[in-house]
Amino acid sequence: MHLPEDGISKTIEEIKKQSPERKFRESIELAINLKDLDLSDPKNRVNEEIVLPKGRGKDISVAVFGTSELKEKAKKATKAVYGPEDINKFLEDKKEFKKLVEKIDFFIAESTLMASIGKSLGQILGPRGKIPKPIPPGQDPVAMISSLGKTVRARSRDKRTFHVPVGTRDMKDEDLEENINAVIRRLVTKLEKGYGNIESIFVKTTMGKAVKLDIGDRK
């Protein structure tokens, strides 16, 4: 189910060549255009979390809600660690919590706190696709935090065009190619008609021009 390898590698070479070096680390992302899907129906929308085999190429922020034991373990892998008492604080200052949510890519919560978080903060986390991932009490969250550091969201909502980051410009071409393949393979397995629901795919850097990716005759 791989795309034409020369097509991906040439596209990566082209976007790097045509975009001048920036003073910051540019991300590389896919712009995916869907077709023949009624996206007003939530069941037809894309909403996937995909682990990139070669990672994101940059640090990803993960926040943890837990009681004392889990919090201590989480501190080995992230500075964003919160306890049950913080849930009420965030509920009282929703504006501040919204600012935090914008900075955090993923949330993890001890399973015993999930109901409280959902009731108090679900209206903020839900629409942003950031409902915490549950973890059993006492379990070491480091492995989950590490995995999420390589994870991207592919989320179309009700739009036919959506974007998925696949790495950074300074990553090796072959690593970016592997990540791109991983994202597209996953999407194809989730779409009702596979490639038949993909109108086109473009690859671009943060500030560069988009280049169309050759997906051969798979449409």
CATH of 62-148, one of 3.40.1360.10, 3.40.50.300, 3.50.50.60, 3.40.50.790: 3.40.50.790
Read off the amino acid at residue 37. Answer: L
Residue whose token pair is 């986390």: 125
Return residue ranges of the chain for CATH 3.30.190.20.
5-57+151-212
Which residues belong to CATH 3.40.50.790 in the chain? 62-148
Residue 65, pLDDT above cutoff 70 = yes
Place of tokens 């200052």: 93
Q: How confident is the model at residue 18 (pLDDT cuts 50, 70, 90)?
A: confident
pLDDT at 158 exceeding the cut of 60: yes
Residue 209 DSSP label: P
With a pLDDT cut of 90, the percent of the chain lying above it is: 84
Contact 109, 135 (CB under 8 A): yes
The amino acid at 41 = D
At the fourth CATH level, the homologous superfamily of domain 5-57+151-212 is Ribosomal protein L1/L10, rRNA-binding domain (3.30.190.20)
The pLDDT of residue 2: 46
Taking only the tens place, the pLDDT of each residue in 36-63 is 999 999 999 999 999 999 999 988 999 9
Distances (CA, A) of 199 to 24, 67, 123, 208, 218: 32, 47, 33, 21, 11
Tell me what pLDDT residue 176 has: 96
- Selected residue with higher pLDDT from 25 and 187: 187
Q: Tell me, what DSSP letter sits at residue 164?
A: E
Is the per-residue pLDDT at 95 higher than 60? yes
Confidence (pTM): 0.82
> pLDDT for 118-155, tens place per residue?
999 999 999 998 999 999 998 999 999 999 999 999 99
